[in-house]
Chain A
Amino acid sequence: MNLLQYQPGESFLHKLNPVTKLLAVFLYCVACIISDSIFVELGLIFLMLIICFFAGLGKRALSLTKNLLILGGMMFILQLLFVRTGTPLLKIGSLCIFTTGGVFSALLLSCRIIATMLPMMLLFAITQMTDLCGAMVKRLHIPYRYAFIVTTAFRFVPLFTSEFHDIEDAQKARGVEYDTKNIFKKIGLVVPLVVPLLMSSLKKVDAGAMSAEVRGFNLRTVRSGYRDYPFAAGDGVCIALTVVLIIISALL
């Protein structure tokens, strides 16, 4: 399953205004970033999971968390080895491997990463890119071409993943060994993957630009869109709640 793909639904999260979703995610991330407490970070992750469960996105959120744990784990190890404050916890001879400060900041950082990434990635699950684009034009009066650039970039992500898999298959079929354990060999194998991907992307972008042009892309204005994306009471409540979250995480 593609972790960034839109998942259709009728939940309260889906029904929010796309602009609200974007802003709420941003505020949620701010709350995660300004907090210095591991417990608040854990609480924010937990809260996000609960919200997702109520919105029928539980399975998706859990598998996302699982994937983010890998990233969190890597950051944890890096921080552990590089932060040298506090008292040494593990020593081999006179060499200090890690310290109390290292453990603390590593834990905080990896929790923070998971807490910020989770809502961002869930945004893709509940928002269709055309809606986000339309709402940005209608509500924020961002020129269509810029809104289009942003949303198109995101829309290309799943496209590229599937293209990438096909290319990998094609290279495997001619004997390129992706199952090798040797790291250096693996790095050398990037060329047969990236070059075809780059070439096909360039072609796609070219074709996309041309088809946008012939369909009168340049003529589009705020009033070209049919849907209006009005704000509703729920949007206000949502933003108010995330602001409260920021205040809580700043105070704790």
Chain B
Amino acid sequence: MLAFEHVHFEYPETPPIIPDLSFTIGDGDFVALIGSNGAGKSTVSRLANGLLLPTSGKVLLDGADTRTTRTSAIARKVGFLFQNPDRQICQNTVREELAFGLKVQGVPEEEVKARTEEALRDFSLDGDWFPFTRSRGERQRIALASVLICRPKMVILDEPTTGLDYKECIAIMDYITRLNRETGLTVLMVSHDMELVQQYAKRVLVLTNGQLQGDGPVTEIMKDLSILEKAHVRPAQIPALALRFGDRFKDVYTVDEMAAALKAAAKKGGAPA
């Protein structure tokens, strides 16, 4: 789906932000991109949908070079949710806002209507809301809905849940996970929240100073505390705890698994260690 091939990137008049980066993301994958502030995560996600073009090297989307594809053509394939939803909301009502993306892409009127109503239901939004004065979480939900309504093959989420309460956060992530499972939506998510990453992502890319420090299944990265420390993120608590208990706890990632494992250990007698 997405391939970075020896991508080198620098902003005008800055040292190279990304010296040499290569990775691929397959169809239907759910990838989390983590790293410290300023590591270049947003830069990578902008490179991935052609908003930025690599100084050298290639970014390929389904085999097409982003340098030779128009951004509007890329936008049909790749949805992008910015951290700040206010940058994209530009219509008077939520209904118009959702329809806007479809109209831009030339979807016929009938279908626009049908899909808008469907999305309003899916995201529990009221079509008549004035979007600008809704709460932060609701605006983020509106923005996400107007991205996903276009049915992209892939979405890039740049810190989609910062500033959202737990319920809003779960609602958004559950919806994305469902699309990922049911329709094979490819997801690239930038996040600092390891609990979220471990709960939803399948694979994790760790970025520091524009270089890939780690790349592997989420279960593996979650237990590699030295990599997580380099990325300046707080490890997810349960896997970190499981790590201290040694080998018997090596498959423990969630609260439920931890509870079960602890009970089992207690039955056998003695503390685990």
CB 8 Å contact bits of B80-91 with A (1 = contact, 0 = none): 101010111111
User: Residue A173 at the B interface, CB < 8 A?
Assistant: yes
Bound Cα distance A200, B46 (Å): 22
Contact of A173 among B70, B75, B90 (CB under 8 A): B75
Tell me how many residues of B have a C-beta within 8 Å of chain A: 29
Using Cβ atoms and an 8 Å threshold, which residues of chain B touch A191? Answer: 90
A174–B147 touching, CB < 8 Å: yes
Bound Cα distance A166, B86 (Å): 11
Segment among B18-26, B100-108, B115-123, B209-217 that sits at the interface with chain A? B100-108
A residues 153-182 near B (Cβ < 8 Å) are 166-167, 169-179
A171–B86 touching, CB < 8 Å: no
Bound Cα distance A180, B76 (Å): 16
User: From residue B153, how far is it (CB to closest CB) to chain A in Å?
Assistant: 14
A174–B87 touching, CB < 8 Å: no
Using Cβ atoms and an 8 Å threshold, which residues of chain B touch A170? Answer: 80, 82, 87-88
Using Cβ atoms and an 8 Å threshold, which residues of chain A touch B75? Answer: 172-176
A175–B72 touching, CB < 8 Å: yes
Contact of B88 among A174, A177, A203 (CB under 8 A): A174
B71–A174 touching, CB < 8 Å: no
Bound Cα distance A176, B73 (Å): 10
Bound Cα distance A172, B75 (Å): 7
User: Residue A183 at the B interface, CB < 8 A?
Assistant: no
Tell me how many residues of A have a C-beta within 8 Å of chain B: 22
B72–A196 touching, CB < 8 Å: no
Bound Cα distance A197, B70 (Å): 24
User: Residue A1 at the B interface, CB < 8 A?
Assistant: yes
A179–B72 touching, CB < 8 Å: yes
Using Cβ atoms and an 8 Å threshold, which residues of chain B touch A169? Answer: 46, 51, 87
B70–A179 touching, CB < 8 Å: yes
User: Residue B132 at the A interface, CB < 8 A?
Assistant: yes
User: Residue A199 at the B interface, CB < 8 A?
Assistant: yes
Bound Cα distance A167, B84 (Å): 10
Bound Cα distance A177, B46 (Å): 17
A and B contact pairs by CB, cutoff 8 A, 26 listed: A1-B12, A1-B13, A166-B82, A166-B84, A167-B88, A169-B87, A171-B88, A172-B71, A172-B72, A174-B88, A174-B146, A174-B150, A175-B72, A175-B75, A175-B104, A175-B105, A175-B150, A176-B72, A177-B70, A177-B71, A195-B89, A196-B86, A196-B88, A196-B89, A200-B86, A203-B86
A interface residue numbers (CB < 8 A to B): 1, 166-167, 169-179, 191-193, 195-196, 199-200, 203
B interface residue numbers (CB < 8 A to A): 12-13, 46, 49, 51, 70-72, 75-76, 78-80, 82, 84, 86-91, 100-101, 104-105, 132, 146-147, 150
